């Protein structure tokens, strides 16, 4: 995924081999089927080979159709060269749930269909519904002239994981000994082994006052460079597509998820996430101030920071021009949506109450600078940290930043895309008017992980 090969011929070959679909045989609904390609990866994995980094041991799957022994397979953690197995692992099995009428199909459902003249079925995700006018602008979906905005659960269902501590040995996470700009920075994995050896949770990070955890996105540098990894914006890059060659776009929409060892009920601490808006170089800091558990409402302090109740799991996302916050509480989950730019409104999605907040500086946030989690007072023990990204809904041609459907989607038709957008053939250039309902076998049930 690192070496950006301008090899259009290879891509064309791959698309022909792959068919751009997620092909498998379907006899009748409500059965299990084997996924036949990786156009829906990483949600569903088709035939793939196991790759292992020779230097750091990181393991991941490579699409059998895009793999070529002629090109080195690189590790996203350390940039090292990987060994790829000869054996091809068959695709995952997935279950189909029948749908009786077009009304049962919702946006973001994965559907299975078979077009005329084709022997195998295809899986794609629904983005446009009957009667809608669809447009892709700068990687985002616009429906009827309005930006489609996902909530946290929708983002979590389709996002692509790019870093996960401790299950991946990803060096993108660093531990900062103090919050000074020139503070000592060490890889988080080393800290996890050295500072918490007696902790029952052996791979946990203890963040005390003056400490911070930083995430900096990096990609493997071109072969021959001095450094194996280089700083990068988050890209629409799929590690499974090692052999494909497509233009990569930077992703502004990403998700940070932190799981804590226990509910920090007595903690009077402060967690600070820093983002920097790329377009405007303005700074927004979202501050989660732990307050007594009875506090249920989101509010802003005088510095414009979010004040939230404590939670065992905290997720933050910048998505479709909004800041999404989701907290797993003792009694269920609470989600908030903060609109960024223009009218700034926080919505408690449970109570549907709306609260006017002070304006945020920019609608576009981007992880161009490190994401930093620091504790000002108290102590926080983090057991899992993950960063994921949204899908970039690009046009087929790399230079096109915009795609516009000329006609509204006909009645009983659905406009679909593959999750693995760089290698997917879908409604961007095929089945332009959408997929008619009578060709749809059903909805694919989410994979069991
Ligand atoms: Zn490695």
Interval between CA 186 and ligand 1 midpoint (Å): 17
Average pLDDT on 263-290 reads: 45
Interval between CA 245 and ligand 1 midpoint (Å): 21
Average pLDDT on 345-364 reads: 38
In this predicted structure, the answer to whether residue 335 has a pLDDT above a threshold of 70 is yes
Interval between CA 84 and ligand 1 midpoint (Å): 13
Interval between CA 331 and ligand 1 midpoint (Å): 40
Average pLDDT on 188-206 reads: 60
Interval between CA 80 and ligand 1 midpoint (Å): 5
In this predicted structure, the answer to whether residue 124 has a pLDDT above a threshold of 90 is yes
What residue ranges do the domains of the chain occupy?
Answer: 8-152+393-444, 173-215+252-389
* Token duo for residue 373: 């989690």
User: Which pLDDT score, from 0 to 100, does residue 109 have?
Assistant: 96
Q: HEC states along 6-56?
A: CCHHHHHHHHHHHCCCCCECCCCCCCEEECCCCCCCCCCCCCEEEEEECCC
Among 50-54, 225-229, 306-310, which range has the highest average pLDDT?
50-54
In this predicted structure, the answer to whether residue 265 has a pLDDT above a threshold of 60 is no
Instruction: Give the distance, in angstroms, between the CA of residue 100 and the centroid of all CA atoms in the same chain.
Output: 31
In this predicted structure, the answer to whether residue 44 has a pLDDT above a threshold of 90 is yes
User: Which pLDDT score, from 0 to 100, does residue 342 have?
Assistant: 41
User: Which pLDDT score, from 0 to 100, does residue 285 have?
Assistant: 41
N- to C-terminal Cα separation, the chain: 24
Is residue 204 within 8 Å of 382, Cβ to Cβ? yes
Answer with the residue of higher pLDDT: 78 or 202: 78
Interval between CA 1 and ligand 1 midpoint (Å): 13
Interval between CA 165 and ligand 1 midpoint (Å): 15
User: Which pLDDT score, from 0 to 100, does residue 316 have?
Assistant: 81
In this predicted structure, the answer to whether residue 236 has a pLDDT above a threshold of 50 is yes
Q: Return the minimum-mean-pLDDT range out of 27-41, 178-192, 280-294.
A: 280-294
The CATH-assigned architecture of domain 8-152+393-444 is: Ribbon (2.10)
Predicted TM-score (pTM) of the model is 0.81
Residue range 424-437, pLDDT digits in tens: 989 988 888 899 99
Residue range 395-421, pLDDT digits in tens: 776 566 778 887 899 999 999 999 998
Q: HEC states along 263-306?
A: CCCCCCCEEEEEEEECCCCEEEEEEEECCCCCCCCCEECCCCCE
Interval between CA 228 and ligand 1 midpoint (Å): 10
């Amino acid at each position: 995924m690192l070496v950006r090969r301008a090899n259009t011929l290879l891509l064309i070959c791959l698309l022909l081999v792959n068919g751009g679909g997620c092909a498998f045989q379907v006899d009748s609904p409500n059965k299990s089927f084997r996924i036949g390609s990786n156009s829906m990866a990483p949600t569903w994995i088709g035939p793939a080979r196991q790759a292992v980094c020779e230097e750091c041991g990181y393991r991941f799957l490579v699409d059998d159709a895009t793999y070529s022994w002629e090109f080195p397979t690189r590790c996203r953690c350390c940039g090292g060269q990987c060994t790829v197995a000869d054996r091809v692992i068959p695709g995952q099995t997935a279950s189909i749930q029948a749908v009786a009428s077009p009304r049962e199909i919702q946006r973001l459902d994965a559907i299975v269909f078979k077009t005329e003249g084709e022997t195998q079925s295809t899986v794609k995700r629904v983005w446009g519904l009957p009667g809608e006018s669809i447009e892709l602008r700068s990687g985002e979906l616009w429906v009827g002239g309005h930006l489609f905005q996902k909530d946290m659960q929708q983002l979590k269902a389709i996002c692509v994981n790019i870093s996960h501590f401790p299950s991946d040995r990803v060096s993108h996470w660093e531990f900062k000994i103090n919050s000074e700009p020139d503070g000592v920075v060490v890889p988080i994995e080393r800290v996890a082994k050295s500072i918490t050896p007696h902790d029952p949770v052996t791979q946990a990070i203890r963040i005390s006052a003056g400490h911070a955890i930083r995430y900096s996105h990096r990609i493997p540098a071109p072969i021959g460079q001095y450094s194996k990894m280089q700083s990068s914006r988050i890209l629409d890059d799929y590690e499974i597509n090692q052999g494909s060659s497509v233009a990569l776009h930077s992703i502004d929409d990403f998700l940070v998820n932190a799981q804590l060892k226990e509910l920090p009920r007595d903690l009077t601490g402060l967690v600070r996430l820093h983002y920097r808006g790329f377009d405007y170089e303005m700074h927004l800091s979202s501050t989660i101030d732990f307050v007594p558990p009875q506090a249920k409402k989101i509010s802003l302090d005088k510095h414009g920071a979010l004040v939230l109740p404590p939670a065992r799991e905290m997720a933050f996302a910048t998505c479709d021009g909004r800041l999404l916050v989701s907290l797993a509480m003792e009694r269920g989950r609470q989600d908030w949506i903060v609109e960024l730019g223009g009218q700034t409104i926080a919505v408690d999605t449970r109570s549907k109450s709306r609260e006017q907040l002070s304006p945020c500086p920019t609608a576009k946030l981007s992880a161009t600078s490190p994401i930093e989690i620091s504790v000002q007072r108290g102590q926080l023990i983090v057991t899992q940290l993950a960063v994921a990204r949204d899908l970039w809904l690009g046009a087929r041609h790399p230079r096109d930043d915009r795609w516009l459907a000329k006609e509204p989607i006909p009645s009983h038709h659905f406009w679909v895309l593959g999750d693995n957008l760089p290698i997917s053939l879908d409604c961007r250039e095929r089945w332009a008017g959408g997929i008619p309902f009578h060709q749809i076998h059903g909805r694919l049930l989410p994979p069991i992980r």
